[in-house]
Amino acid sequence: MSRYDETTLARVALTWLAEPGTRSVYALVTELGPVAALELLLDGAAPYEDLRDSVAARSRAGDARAIAAEALDRGERLGARVVVPGDDEWPGTVEELRKLRLSDARRRVDRETAPPLCFWVRGPWPLAEALDRSVAVVGARAATPYGLHVARQLGYGLADRDWTVVSGGAFGIDAAAHRGALSAGGRTVAVLACGVDRPYPVGNTALFDRIADSGLLVSEWPPAAEPLRPRFLIRNRVIAAGTKGTVLVEAAARSGATQTTRRALALNRPAMVVPGPVTSAMSVGTHEILREEPGARLVTGLAHVLEEVGRIGELAPVPRGPDRPTDVIDDDARAIVEAMPRRGTIGVDDLAARAGLAVRTVLRKMSLLEELALVVRRDDGYALVPPRRAG
Amino acid sequence: MSRYDETTLARVALTWLAEPGTRSVYALVTELGPVAALELLLDGAAPYEDLRDSVAARSRAGDARAIAAEALDRGERLGARVVVPGDDEWPGTVEELRKLRLSDARRRVDRETAPPLCFWVRGPWPLAEALDRSVAVVGARAATPYGLHVARQLGYGLADRDWTVVSGGAFGIDAAAHRGALSAGGRTVAVLACGVDRPYPVGNTALFDRIADSGLLVSEWPPAAEPLRPRFLIRNRVIAAGTKGTVLVEAAARSGATQTTRRALALNRPAMVVPGPVTSAMSVGTHEILREEPGARLVTGLAHVLEEVGRIGELAPVPRGPDRPTDVIDDDARAIVEAMPRRGTIGVDDLAARAGLAVRTVLRKMSLLEELALVVRRDDGYALVPPRRAG
């Protein structure tokens, strides 16, 4: 088992000893590093009684280090990698969970919302890059045809605008959002509450296979981990913290589907909610949030979602370093770039209409955009030059 | 023509000379009284050029006093009465239009929002009393089955709780709200943009007949006045100002149906909006208001509406003088009264469930409520004692 990096192995072992999100474990890791923190726990010297008890209980089931090594072996066999802080692809935004304090945290899952210790990842994209321009689309499993339609449209539209669609892989809204993104030929990430080798629910297996091929399956739990009930709620904090904003499409009254939205609100991320017919039980939860949370934003479609996440991603300079060409262009030019179709060409008249600018303004800006190699002139109009990928 | 009160005749004549809501006319009436204000205008001595011009133009079509007398004769023949400030049934709340200043008042109808000079009324109820506990339910003419269903349910529920349902008598949402109230055996008021003798649209004639029998037809314009286009917008300020709150059920993008809601917001009255499917063109306007107006409140049904208007009518002491029994009872007792069915009897268990109180609390309060003659005990339960009418 020495062929694995010691700290990675320690992080995996710690996640097995205590559920992800446990504040006391995260605090020990921050203070001592993962290796020393693991030693302390295995020595029965955890500073909190309940942590000592749970570590003791888990340890009776097996040796944490051996089980972690086994998980790493298993992950390697099935092409799942472990991503830990310090890795290039570690998504720094999830560290903001450190600051998360939920005002009404009576349940364990609402108190234990510390950052993840590691991620298991399956799929061809670097995790941090996939999440850099990402929006979560989540909602009820027992969705209505209306909700499924809206989620699929949003998934499609976001992916078509080069946003990653993040969801939880569940039946209903989650699956519709993933499918919409896939049908746009875009990227989608399923954040799971179980091992990435056995994504739940089994009924979505074909969907998970497609996601693993072109997007990412992500989990805090090691391969073979079961989707225990509380894990869905533990997982939701990652969906909220890993994305630029969360859209809730349908939710029953007081349902778990609203929880991700409340996490996003607490993290000060755009928390967007799609309303629905007041006669629909699946919109009761969404309307509740809109009534109760002044920070929640009613959105009716892609344009509203882009407006919200655009504050930090779409319209504002993208935080990828100072030498990105779009950082130096003005609002009009940026509006033109945003209005360009992701695929194919567009004429100047159509482009002006989409950008909401005068044709002469568009013409004036195109040469600058050509110079910056952001657009290219073709026989039948202008086309976008795809951004070079970092990874 | 001397058989009519001189000031009433002057008010009617002034409404004929300049459209209701004209600020300069209202200011003259406030300063000089209606009789002297009319004389001033007819002498061509109005202090504003555009007012002088419009009075001159109207005067070429006839003598304002003679036309007013004719309108009063006509009104008398068809059973329509004129209500003016100082009358017992004058609804004082419309005077709050004095304070109305719309932030974005570029159009005439958004600037000229002064209080009415008089009302023409047809129907068996004193106007002020009918509007005292009233909620406006308004919306699109081209409503969907969804919107019609919601409007009818709200109309029914409000009327069933002894609230007057006020609307504009139009096709679609307006008619559905009126019909809902009528089907509950309750009161409804149609505020028209034309003479009460020829309510518009003609297709709602049967509905208007039923309203005139059991509710009220109300207008600022004299009998025979035509429903000119701007008059609907002029009229909307009365719907907003005459009620305790306004519910918007469906509205197309940037439609006139949203205007009443914006008036209510500017008047600081509860402005309630029912969301709908984001796929429906008839909910675009409602979602716009919910997104743009922080003061607009999303409501999904009767309970939410009562919660909003209850602040000033349902739950708070009703401003009718200090000797109303409900003023002196506590929150629990008031909740019990509010939970009582308007008709028929109810058992203590059901009552406790509806009021959200323990059965023992309900039992403890019933003797007080009996003593205050608010409820009466019957063989099969408790019944509400209907409030005595003032008129």
pLDDT tens digits, A322-352? 344 555 567 778 778 877 887 788 888 888 7
Alpha carbon distance A190, A211 (integer Å): 7
Residues B147, B250: contact at Cβ < 8 Å? yes
* Residue ranges of chain B whose CB lies within 8 Å of a chain A CB: 146, 149-150, 274-279, 283-284, 287, 290-291, 297-298, 300-301, 304
Alpha carbon distance B293, B289 (integer Å): 6
Give every strand in the sheet of B297-298, ordered side by side. Answer: B81-83, B119-122, B216-219, B188-192, B164-167, B134-138, B246-248, B271-273, B297-298
Question: Lowest-pLDDT range, A150-164, A259-273, B198-212, B322-336?
Answer: B322-336
Question: Lowest-pLDDT range, A189-193, A221-225, A294-298, B341-345?
Answer: B341-345
The predicted pLDDT at position B101 comes to 84
Separation of CA B39 from chain center: 32
What is the identity of the amino acid at A290?
Answer: L
Q: What are B137's two structure tokens?
A: 């339910």
Alpha carbon distance A20, A278 (integer Å): 37
Say if the Cβ atoms of B275 and A297 lie within 8 Å.
no
How big is the CA angle at B75 (ends B73 and B77), to the nearest 5 degrees? 70
* Option in B149, B283, B298 nearest A290 (CB): B298
Owner of token pair 């005990």: B377
Greater pLDDT, B27 or B321: B27
The predicted pLDDT at position A349 comes to 83
pLDDT per residue over A107-127, tens digit each?
A: 888 889 999 999 999 999 999
* Option in A149, A278, A298 nearest B274 (CB): A278
pLDDT per residue over B90-134, tens digit each?
A: 999 999 999 988 877 778 888 899 999 999 999 999 999 999 999
- The domain defined by A325-384 folds into Arc Repressor Mutant, subunit A (1.10.10)
> Residue A191 — φ and ψ, nearest 5°?
-95, 115
* Option in B278, B298, B300 nearest A300 (CB): B278
pLDDT higher than threshold 70 for residue B299: yes
pLDDT (average), residues B293-315: 85
pLDDT (average), residues A211-232: 95
Q: State the pLDDT confidence band at A368, using cuts at 50, 70 and 90.
A: confident
pLDDT higher than threshold 90 for residue B343: no
The predicted pLDDT at position A254 comes to 82
What DSSP line would sit under B161-174, residue for residue? TTPEEEE---TTHH
The predicted pLDDT at position A2 comes to 46
pLDDT higher than threshold 80 for residue B320: no
- From chain B, the residues in CB contact with A279 under 8 A are 146, 149-150
Beta-carbon neighbour count of residue B11 at 10 Å? 24
Say if the Cβ atoms of A291 and B304 lie within 8 Å.
yes
Residues A22, A73: contact at Cβ < 8 Å? no
Residues A158, A183: contact at Cβ < 8 Å? no
* Option in B278, B287, B298 nearest A287 (CB): B298
Residues B251, B203: contact at Cβ < 8 Å? no
pLDDT (average), residues A350-357: 77
Short-list B101, B121, B137, B120, CA closest to B246: B137
- Domain B119-310 - what CATH class? alpha beta
pLDDT (average), residues B74-89: 95
What is the identity of the amino acid at A268?
Answer: N
All residues at 6 or more sequence positions from A144 whose CB lies less than 8 Å from its CB, including other chains = A250, A276, A280, A282
Interface test with A, best of B150, B278, B279 (most A CBs within 10 A): B278
Nearest-CA distance B324 → chain A (Å): 33
pLDDT (average), residues B34-54: 92
Through-space distance between the first and last CA atoms of chain A, rounded to whole angstroms: 29
Element spanning A196, H or E:
none
Q: What are B183's two structure tokens?
A: 């089907």
Give every strand in the sheet of A345-346, ordered side by side. Answer: A345-346, A381-384, A375-378
Beta-carbon neighbour count of residue B144 at 10 Å? 20
The predicted pLDDT at position B348 comes to 86
pLDDT per residue over A301-318, tens digit each?
A: 999 999 999 854 444 333
pLDDT per residue over A7-35, tens digit each?
A: 999 999 999 999 999 999 999 999 999 99
All residues at 6 or more sequence positions from B212 whose CB lies less than 8 Å from its CB, including other chains = B122, B123, B196
pLDDT (average), residues B255-267: 91
- From chain A, the residues in CB contact with B276 under 8 A are 275-278
pLDDT per residue over B163-203, tens digit each?
A: 999 999 999 999 999 999 999 999 999 999 999 999 999 99
Say if the Cβ atoms of B290 and A275 lie within 8 Å.
yes
Beta-carbon neighbour count of residue A341 at 10 Å? 16
The predicted pLDDT at position B311 comes to 57
pLDDT (average), residues A83-98: 96
Which of A45-54, A100-109, B59-68, B296-305 has maximum average pLDDT? B296-305
The predicted pLDDT at position B3 comes to 66
Domain coordinates in residue numbering, chain A: 1-68, 110-310, 325-384
Say if the Cβ atoms of B276 and A275 lie within 8 Å.
yes
Q: State the pLDDT confidence band at B387, using cuts at 50, 70 and 90.
A: low
Mean pLDDT of chain A: 89
Strands A297-298 and A375-378, by their bridges, are unpaired
Mean pLDDT of chain B: 89
Say if the Cβ atoms of A277 and B277 lie within 8 Å.
yes
Residues B138, B168: contact at Cβ < 8 Å? yes
Q: State the pLDDT confidence band at B6, using cuts at 50, 70 and 90.
A: very high
pLDDT higher than threshold 70 for residue B214: yes
Say if the Cβ atoms of A277 and B301 lie within 8 Å.
no
- From chain B, the residues in CB contact with A275 under 8 A are 275-276, 278, 283, 287, 290, 298
- From chain A, the residues in CB contact with B290 under 8 A are 275, 290, 298
Domains A110-310 and A325-384 share a fold: no
The predicted pLDDT at position B391 comes to 31
Say if the Cβ atoms of A279 and B146 lie within 8 Å.
yes
Length of chain B: 391
Length of chain A: 391
The predicted pLDDT at position B325 comes to 52
Q: What are B241's two structure tokens?
A: 């100002």
Nearest-CA distance A260 → chain B (Å): 21
Q: State the pLDDT confidence band at A50, using cuts at 50, 70 and 90.
A: confident
Alpha carbon distance A94, A346 (integer Å): 38
The predicted pLDDT at position B232 comes to 94
Say if the Cβ atoms of B291 and A277 lie within 8 Å.
no
* Option in B276, B278, B284 nearest A150 (CB): B278
Nearest-CA distance B148 → chain A (Å): 12
Q: For domain A110-310, say whether CATH 3.40.50.450 is its number.
A: yes
Alpha carbon distance A95, A85 (integer Å): 9
Nearest-CA distance A302 → chain B (Å): 11
Chain A's closest residue to B295, CA to CA, is: A294
pLDDT (average), residues A341-366: 81
Short-list B219, B228, B225, CA closest to B71: B225
Say if the Cβ atoms of B300 and A284 lie within 8 Å.
yes
Q: Which of helix, strand or coil describes residue B255?
A: coil
Say if the Cβ atoms of B278 and A301 lie within 8 Å.
yes
Greater pLDDT, A89 or A334: A89
Question: Lowest-pLDDT range, A203-207, A270-274, B94-98, B378-382?
Answer: B378-382
Say if the Cβ atoms of A276 and B277 lie within 8 Å.
yes
Residues B195, B202: contact at Cβ < 8 Å? no
pLDDT (average), residues B57-65: 91
pLDDT per residue over A252-305, tens digit each?
A: 998 877 999 999 999 999 999 999 999 999 999 999 999 999 999 999 999 999
Chain B's closest residue to A153, CA to CA, is: B279
The predicted pLDDT at position B376 comes to 85
Greater pLDDT, A152 or B2: A152
* Residue B91 per-residue DSSP state: -
